[in-house]
Chains A and B, each alone.
Chain A
């Protein structure tokens, strides 16, 4: 006892004289955890709610594109008068799955999901959990090719943006800006090499290069979707290749880093860049003549469409099993943005949230995913 009273613990045992040493520590820990849970638990969930909850599971809210999922989901939730819950994986697959499980338990199964899985392999575990709970869901972007949506009755659809088309479109727009169109050298900044969109967009670039033999990709680096790394890599590549005519980037954040490096080398506005995603700064860069084009993945539409499909399946309006396979796994085109239409796109999609028509889920259907 004498020893314990000399303990340097911030919560000395003497404050809890009736508890044995170990017990008082675990008691404190338990109390702490419970306190954290109560503080973070939203008040609205305490009241039992008969209406279906619209839940989205996304990577993070720290990236403008992913943050727009939330905007789109909330806009849709408002239009149908249902509550929206936002779960983030923070790039942790395990957390993503656990959060989905607890959300299902919390809402007693009365929930539908829009999911952008952290990585492709996660969808199998997620599908099993939701299938067991009979919860309808739609996934975006990441799915292993050999996992088929039609093997799971509650998996309404898997949708993706056409990455090859995006890379191909931006590459061609970039080539048009050269002094001699169709003749020149470019460098490229890739995203995380293991990501499907990174690979697809790069395939699009390769396709465009294959059709324009006069254009040479002199070097590419993996900048991991990161602006600072893109800046560093571009600075170094410009030493090796000061005579390039364009910089192709797999996303807009990297394009912004590249613009900064070009600016310091005195090449801004002479050498243009392209990206993908459609972040606000990229629209400004296109307006200011620093960038040639981007492709806007309309996250607000994505979230709205995903939730609308899942909700409609839950309400029995959409016969999931009756849909042909091409409507279970498909791609839709993103919005192409260049110097001509940039003002219009900003007005329609950024300054305002468009009134999307979700009466036909397949209105924008472009190609089936095999």
Chain B
């Protein structure tokens, strides 16, 4: 006698369910972010228990999202350079310089300039320009990115300090202020902007020739050059995009703090590198996408927020961050590429 219960179930539907579940699991495994999602869930779980639920309150989730947005934008810019197998240490200098540009050109306390919304393309352009120079130094003058971008950072930092004379420039009635500090349906606008940037970059990586070139170069630069990949062009473009995103981050930071000063750029590089590494982008190149960078920024912010909410000793917080970075790199680095470890 056939099992009536089973026979009564619509056959097609169970098959669809099971295949989609397998598909889902496979997607999850192949997505490259399974470990990171798990880490985020574990981090949030521990802090939720530790703070008796306060961690998962709407207010705190809003705080995490709004604080994660700017590091995420920077990390999304940085990670493509890392995927190439290079590194970009110019974050702090580019941000410092762009912030000072915002201070001078937006409506401010010290001069009569007011470019209004033009400030968006201007800062993006200045940042992008710095990025393109990074790319040119790296590809045309054959300077290792580690040195060229570090040099660029110091040059721009010096310029920023020189131009601003070390002063803080208070901004007045910035038209972007309402946008940067606002919410849509309880979600901070900055987080939405960061998400849109992530979505665009991710789409470009997945669906375009540029994306394939990116991973080809990251995998093996010599081989991809022989295969006809435009290595120099792609690299310069990647550094340029990174610069554009640092410029936008600088703009948001200045508007958020309602003031422009060169030192706004300080303390941005370490969180960005940590986010990129924690997100699962291998520092050896070729592995990881925008989703990893964005998720990495979210994990790092969620961690820092949790440490404060748990009132962990401030002396220990830095140590925790450093340890997380080392562990993340240990888990993601592609050792096949390294002949020996320096």
Contact = CB atoms under 8 A, between A and B. Distances in A.
Nearest to A66: B166
A137 interface: no
A264 B248 CA distance: 21
Contacts of B257: 227-228, 231, 256-257, 260
Contacts of A195: none
Contact of A220 (B140, B261, B314): B314
Nearest to A242: B59
Interface stretch (A160-168, A233-241, A305-313): A233-241
Nearest to B141: A10
Contacts of A183: none
B165 interface: yes
Contacts of B164: 62
Interface residues of B, number: 42
A256 B168 CA distance: 11
B304 A236 contact: yes
Contacts of B314: 190, 193, 220-222
A232 B301 CA distance: 10
A63 B263 contact: yes
A279 interface: yes
Given A229-B267, A233-B308, A61 B166 contact: yes
A256 B259 contact: yes
Contact of A221 (B63, B258, B308): B308
A281 B168 contact: yes
Contacts of A226: 263, 266-267
A193 B315 contact: yes
A280 interface: yes
A contact residues, range:
35 or more
B305 interface: yes
A98 interface: no
A208 to B, nearest CB: 20
A224 to B, nearest CB: 7
A239 B258 contact: no
B67 interface: yes
A64 interface: yes
A104 to B, nearest CB: 24
Contacts of A221: 308, 314, 317
Dominant SS at the A interface? Answer: helix
A62 B304 contact: no
A224 B157 CA distance: 19
A220 B313 CA distance: 9
A236 B308 contact: yes
B253 interface: yes
A235 B258 CA distance: 16
A219 interface: yes
B262 interface: yes
A226 B263 CA distance: 8
A77 B161 CA distance: 23
A221 B309 CA distance: 11
Given A64-B168, A222-B314, A231-B257, A239 B267 contact: no
A205 to B, nearest CB: 15
A60 interface: yes
A129 interface: no
Contacts of B134: none
A26 B46 CA distance: 58
Nearest to B264: A228
Given A10-B140, A224-B267, A232-B67, A279 B168 contact: yes
B262 A239 contact: no
A213 interface: no
A232 B304 contact: yes
Interface in A261-290: 264, 279-281, 284
A314 to B, nearest CB: 29
3 nearest interchain CB pairs?
Answer: A67-B166, A236-B308, A222-B314
16 contacts: A61-B161, A61-B166, A62-B164, A63-B166, A221-B308, A227-B257, A228-B264, A228-B267, A236-B60, A236-B304, A239-B54, A239-B305, A240-B51, A253-B263, A257-B257, A280-B170
Interface of B: 51, 54, 57, 59-60, 63, 66-67, 140-142, 157, 160-162, 164-168, 170, 181, 253, 256-259, 261-264, 266-268, 304-305, 308-309, 311, 314-315, 317
